[in-house]
Amino acid sequence: MNWKLAYAIGFHPWEETDLDFFQSLASLLEREEQGREPPLGRALDIGTGSAIWGIELAKRGWEVSGVDFVAKALNRGRERVQAAGVEMKIVQGDVTRLSEAEVGSGFRLILDTGTFHDLDIEQQHGMARSVDALATQDATVILLCWPRRIRPLIRGVSREEIETAFSGWEITDVEPSFFKLPPLLEWVLRPDEHWYRLRRA
Ligand SMILES: C[S@@+](CC[C@H](N)C(=O)[O-])C[C@H]1O[C@@H](n2cnc3c(N)ncnc32)[C@H](O)[C@@H]1O
């Protein structure tokens, strides 16, 4: 996907999520938050786009940094952060080379809603290495991924590709996200997205 072009023309259907999707993410987050009081620790929203889910994390009590390489998305994100009245650090950078971006480190939660699954193999490995370096020993990684198959726009990833890239991690859970695109796009692309939860092996 050409993300810069997509934001430039206002094509961002991934921002139009419904209650089922929200609840599927909320139940994953509750698992990470169980038995803890805010502040919940540092969270990194990878490919944060317009910061929608980073803001949600901040509202729940996480200390959030969001990173993305599209300036227009980040500007929308900054406006949203301000409107929401939360604290969230927004950084422009490449998720496949996070050591070059000033996102910080010591993240207990890494959330990616739709970035990893459009990366090629080399980029997948770059992102996984970056995450590995910035995550705490007890961190959880949550990835939202389309399956790998022939579809326009998004490459998709297989479970094996996730396991190979995140070689020091294990997939503990795979759950449906109930993500839906607008009807015509849904029919053409059939995203069938799932959440992958990873912990260090
Ligand atoms: C499907 S969008 C999801 C945006 C946001 N997480 C959301 O759910 O609204 C994927 C995002 O990943 C970002 N992205 C893709 N490849 C990237 C890279 N190599 N470095 C930084 N951001 C990237 C895109 O700019 C886009 O904002």
64 φ/ψ angles, rounded to the nearest 5 degrees:
-105, 135
The packing angle between helices 52-60 and 19-33, to 10°, is 40
From CA 15, how far away is CA 7, in angstroms rounded? 11
CATH number of the domain at 168, please: 3.40.50.150
**Total domain count, the chain:** 1
Which residues, 6 or more positions from 42, have their beta carbon under 8 angstroms from its beta carbon? 62, 63, 64, 65, 104, 106, 107, 108, 109
44 lines ligand 1 (CB under 6 A): no
Whole-number Å distance, alpha carbon 40 to ligand 1 midpoint, is 24
Print the domain residue range for 132.
3-200
48 lines ligand 1 (CB under 6 A): yes
In a structure prediction context, what are the per-residue pLDDT tens digits for the chain, which is 201 residues long? 899 999 999 999 999 999 999 999 999 999 999 999 999 999 999 999 999 999 999 999 999 999 999 999 999 999 999 999 999 999 999 999 998 999 999 999 999 999 999 999 999 999 999 999 999 999 999 999 999 877 778 899 999 999 999 999 999 999 999 998 888 888 888 888 999 999 999
At 153 the pLDDT is: 83
